[in-house]
Homo-oligomer: A and B are copies of this chain.
């Protein structure tokens, strides 16, 4: 048999497997759409128990993945993301219980009104349908994402990184057993049964109309590929180039606390600030104290010529710095011409994610909030408040920077859509 024939057989096998997954997901989505909240919560509770009970099995599966990753000379950060221990496994189970405790968005009446002819119109939350999750090395995404999709009444098709395959499969067993225990369709959470990359391509094409949305979970190269190639909607952000603008009307102490927190609380999250913009009319007052505080917090400051002229500790920034998501203890600093200068800078270099203004003047703040075209805009608060938990939405599957449907935190409600239910008493249209 020629190599080409082998390849064809392999891709036919993958296509067949994906087709079976798609068919099962479509049926599961129908079943889940009308599943009672109590059954979904029962399944989540059972999943959590199963995961705790299977701790040893999951660790054994994880050891296999870790051995492969080490053999492949993966870097330490990769190994860390991949590694599960009893503590992390317990946290994963607790995460499922947290999701069980969240309100079920399905069936919620968003708005309703009556028409003069007596028709009663309701806009009701319904699940989206089938959600594809494409992720990299963090095996806990299997549980988190699967559970969020299920609780919101959707079927999930998960495709994890090939090097987390064994671990994800062991977790999936616990999830599907939980679905069984609650009498729900176990195909509500499925995993692509092969590490072959061709499966990703098929998912990005939508599996013949079965996948309604793709959620990528991973680094910039994964998200970029998904955004470029997907033929179905994607909920994602490519990067979080978040800004803090300090207006001349700002309280300096507040501005300092916010700038340091926005950058340094955690440097590796998408809501970490990457650029500090300072109002030119207050640069002489603000640049040095802000730089002091950042350097004290062990942050490197790279600024434009105007800021360097004020404070020689500031290193030189290039054009590249304005578009760099450092995800590290480095911040770029630019002097801008008031709030409109900040708005222009963010429009040119920002990523429509999260941006904050520090200002005492309410009109200036409102101008910033209205004109910065980002999913989340803040006044006098740290950009690191950008996640679903901090918004009070509970667990989230990610942050989206697209224009439509889901902007900002993608939590349970954002994993649903709506339909109009209209009730009449025999109305016909004149």
Contact surface of A with B, Cβ cutoff 8 Å = 30, 33-34, 107, 113, 115, 119, 121, 126, 128-129, 212-213, 233, 251, 254, 257-258, 260-262, 265, 347, 365, 369-371, 373-382, 384-385, 390-392, 403-405, 407-408, 417-429
Contacts and interface: CB of A to CB of B under 8 A. Distances in A.
B380 A426 contact: yes
Nearest to A385: B429
Contact of A426 (B115, B258, B373): B258
Contact of A265 (B381, B422, B424, B428): B428
A400 to B, nearest CB: 11
B213 A381 contact: no
Contacts of A376: 419-420, 422
A261 B429 contact: yes
5 contacts: A34-B370, A258-B428, A369-B423, A378-B421, A380-B426
Contact of A423 (B212, B260, B380): B380
Contacts of A384: 428-429
A39 to B, nearest CB: 15
Contact of A34 (B115, B371, B380, B427): B371
Q: How many copies of this chain are found per oligomer?
A: 2
A380 B425 CA distance: 5
Contacts of A126: 373
B113 A212 contact: no
Question: Secondary structure at chain A's binding surface: helix, strand, loop or mixed?
Answer: mixed
A428 B260 CA distance: 9
Contact of A129 (B30, B391, B403, B419): B403
A126 B352 CA distance: 13
Contacts of A129: 373, 403
B418 A407 contact: yes
Nearest to A129: B403
B405 A405 contact: yes
B420 A408 contact: yes
B258 A421 contact: no
Contact of A369 (B381, B405, B421, B426): B421
Contacts of A257: 426, 428
Contacts of A115: 390-392
A373 B26 CA distance: 12
Given A365-B423, A375-B420, 5 more contacts: A254-B426, A378-B424, A384-B428, A404-B404, A407-B419
Contacts of A34: 370-371
A429 B382 contact: yes
A247 B347 CA distance: 56
A421 B385 CA distance: 12
B382 A427 contact: yes
B422 A381 contact: yes
Given A404-B405, A417-B404, A424 B380 contact: yes
Contacts of A407: 417-420
Nearest to A377: B421
B212 A379 contact: no
Contacts of A128: 403-404
A204 to B, nearest CB: 13
Given A376-B420, A377-B419, A407-B417, A390 B265 contact: no
Nearest to A231: B231
